[in-house]
Amino acid sequence: MKQVFNPFLPLTEYIPDGEPHVFGDRVYLFGSHDMAGGTSFCMKDYVCWSAPVDNLKDWRCEGVIYRRGQDPLNADLSHALFAPDVCRGPDGRYYLYYALDFVSVISVAVCDTPAGQYEFYGHVHFKDGHVLSSRAGEPYAFDPAVLCEGENVYLYMGYCPYPPRHLMEVPKTYTHAWVYKLAPDMLTIERGGTPVAPSYSNSAGTGFEGCEFFEASSIRKVGERYYFIWSTYYNHDLCYATSSSPEGPFKFGGRIISNGDIGFGGITKEEDCNNYIGNNHGSVENINGRWYVFYHRHTNGTSFSRQACAEQIEILPNGSIPQVEMTSCGLNGGPLCGLGTYPAGIACDLKSGVGTARGDIPHGGIHPYITQEGEDGSSSARLYIANLKDGAMCGFKYFAPAGAKNIAIWARGTAGGEFVVTDGKNIVARVPVSPAEGWTRFDAPLACESGAGVDGAVKAAFPLFFTYHGEGYADFLQFELS
């Protein structure tokens, strides 16, 4: 049985800042493009992935759709392609909006098909010809999002570091996310900007306190409501606000997801979160009648190797979106099968014996991290969890009971101890491990009589948590339920 994990693309593909869009009978994922062990954000050209709307287990790479050097402002390839968005314009063509890293210009490329070869089209500008954000006092141009309704086109953008500071020779404004109405030519500003969401510096009394706008603008229309989505100053979450108009005013709604599960299940502090946190960027999309949130997680112990994940969400009749947790099975349509072999790289929970951290993780220290074995782009490359030391835990959610009686793990390293496996309530196995230079299989029986979820008679989906106790460190490649 084919299944889809989180991350849902091949485990050695790194697509952050995901914007999913359904065009025709396929969903297309547009995003930035990181690499394993990258030294900065978005080091590669834009690629696109797509899947049939009725089979989210069948993603294919559409190839490179736009290269860094195609923008005339980047002829020397000194800049990276930051987070993009795509919409279908009034003329039926597809328009890709993006900003080169810290150039503060919104660029546009165009193509006749969603995932074909885009060609540079122009820079967003005012009617007098001057480019948006080229003059002092104009908002910083960053992370564009675009909405097209017939002849009406709306561009959202903004960047609000705190404390506000000048990042350019020409001083910019860092106070809000903004919306501009564009002409049908997709480039010319007809009116705006209009503030959409406040920053940390001016949120008092707005209802956005604690979830102020930082970056990662995204926009969707759901029924008669417009949803503006962004990443907050705290940087690990995606929040939303709603309005009856694309130009606002927008009312704060809540948090959709956190890449550390902060705000879910009673977790309120970073030190208590379920996973290592970093910046987040994504959006929501209706695919074949179901709503999903797309987001990204961090790997390789850096901020620069991010991977696309997704979870099913519910949009309630009153317009609210309850926060969802990170899982290992987001697009699978239900829990993973409780039999089979699973890569450790799909862990949705990961922490050391002293908790988690934010941002980069020094290798060789106390913290475990998901990393890649093999060269970036190699078909033989694979993910594993490195550096599990005493008290470190990795978790996988969720599995459907299937009568498994045995569990095996593949590990290597200097570890001398055991992995204690629980289903969140009970210890279901103790897997002894010993030092090994190469990947070595270690087995243990499952205690079915005590493990809710591992007995085929139990109907509830269950998680599996692996906690290492012992000396040295263990690298963890995969596990098998049989």
Tens of pLDDT, residues 110-143:
999 999 999 999 999 999 999 999 999 999 999 9
Residues 217 and 291 in one domain: yes
The string of DSSP letters for 82-99 reads: ---EEEE-TTS-EEEEE-
Q: What is the mean pLDDT of residues 173-186?
A: 96
Q: Which of 262, 297, 313 is the last residue of a domain?
A: 313
Residues 184 and 282 in one domain: yes
Active site residue 215: yes
Residues 281 and 152 in one domain: yes
CA distances from 119 to 68, 69, 96, 110, 477 (A): 11, 11, 9, 5, 41
Structure tokens at 31: 């995003």
State the pLDDT at residue 170.
Answer: 80
The string of DSSP letters for 340-351 reads: EEEEGGG-SEEE
Do the domain assignments include residue 8? no
Which among 96, 160, 147 has a CA at the least distance from the CA of 123?
A: 96
* Dihedral in degrees, nearest 10, Cα atoms 412, 464, 314, 330: 30
Residues 282 and 136 in one domain: yes
Residue 453: band (very low, low, confident or very high) from pLDDT cuts 50, 70, 90: very low
Candidate list 13, 17, 285, 418, residue with the active-site label: 17
State the pLDDT at residue 455.
Answer: 47
Q: Which of 313, 347, 362 is the last residue of a domain?
A: 313
Residues 146 and 114 in one domain: yes
- The more confidently predicted of residues 453 and 165 is 165
Do the domain assignments include residue 318? no
Residues 246 and 127 in one domain: yes
Which among 257, 350, 344 has a CA at the least distance from the CA of 298?
A: 350
Q: Which of 313, 328, 359 is the last residue of a domain?
A: 313
* 329 and 464 Cβ atoms separated by less than 8 Å: no
Strand partners, 283: 294
Structure tokens at 178: 């903004």
% of the chain surpassing 90 pLDDT = 90
Structure tokens at 61: 């790479």
Do the domain assignments include residue 403? yes
Strand partners, 442: 409
Do the domain assignments include residue 325? no
Q: What is the mean pLDDT of residues 166-182?
A: 89
* 412 and 439 Cβ atoms separated by less than 8 Å: yes
Rounded Cα–Cα distance for residues 301 and 303 (Å): 7
Residues 293 and 354 in one domain: no
- The more confidently predicted of residues 200 and 163 is 200
Structure tokens at 199: 């920053």
CA distances from 475 to 37, 187, 413 (A): 17, 51, 6
Residues 289 and 399 in one domain: no
Residue 448: band (very low, low, confident or very high) from pLDDT cuts 50, 70, 90: low
Residue 256 has pLDDT above 90, yes or no: yes
Candidate list 13, 19, 71, 215, residue with the active-site label: 215
Structure tokens at 453: 């979820």
Tens of pLDDT, residues 351-383:
999 999 998 888 889 999 999 999 887 788 999
Residue 449: band (very low, low, confident or very high) from pLDDT cuts 50, 70, 90: very low
Residues 246 and 153 in one domain: yes
Tens of pLDDT, residues 180-236:
999 999 999 999 899 999 999 999 999 999 999 999 999 999 999 999 999 999 999
Structure tokens at 236: 């690990």
Residue 410: band (very low, low, confident or very high) from pLDDT cuts 50, 70, 90: very high
Residue 100 has pLDDT above 70, yes or no: yes
CATH code for position 177: 2.115.10.20
Rounded Cα–Cα distance for residues 15 and 295 (Å): 10
Q: State the pairing for strand pair 336-337/393-400.
A: parallel
E-assigned strand segments in 340-473:
340-343, 349-351, 369-373, 382-388, 393-400, 406-413, 416-422, 427-433, 436-445, 462-471
% of the chain surpassing 70 pLDDT = 97
Strand partners, 87: 95
CATH code for position 414: 2.60.120.260
State the pLDDT at residue 469.
Answer: 98
Do the domain assignments include residue 327? no
State the pLDDT at residue 327.
Answer: 98
* 467 and 419 Cβ atoms separated by less than 8 Å: yes
Active site residue 455: no
State the pLDDT at residue 458.
Answer: 52
**How many structural domains compose the chain?**
2
Tens of pLDDT, residues 300-348:
999 999 999 999 999 999 999 999 999 999 999 999 999 999 999 999 9
Tens of pLDDT, residues 261-283:
999 999 999 989 999 999 999 99
Residues 258 and 365 in one domain: no
- Going by the DSSP 8-state scheme, the letter that residue 130 receives in this structure is P
Do the domain assignments include residue 12? no
Residues 295 and 386 in one domain: no
Do the domain assignments include residue 136? yes
Do the domain assignments include residue 322? no
Residue 452: band (very low, low, confident or very high) from pLDDT cuts 50, 70, 90: very low
Tens of pLDDT, residues 231-250:
999 999 999 999 999 999 99
Domain that holds residue 24: 19-313
Residues 258 and 357 in one domain: no
Tens of pLDDT, residues 12-46:
999 999 999 999 999 999 999 999 989 999 999 99
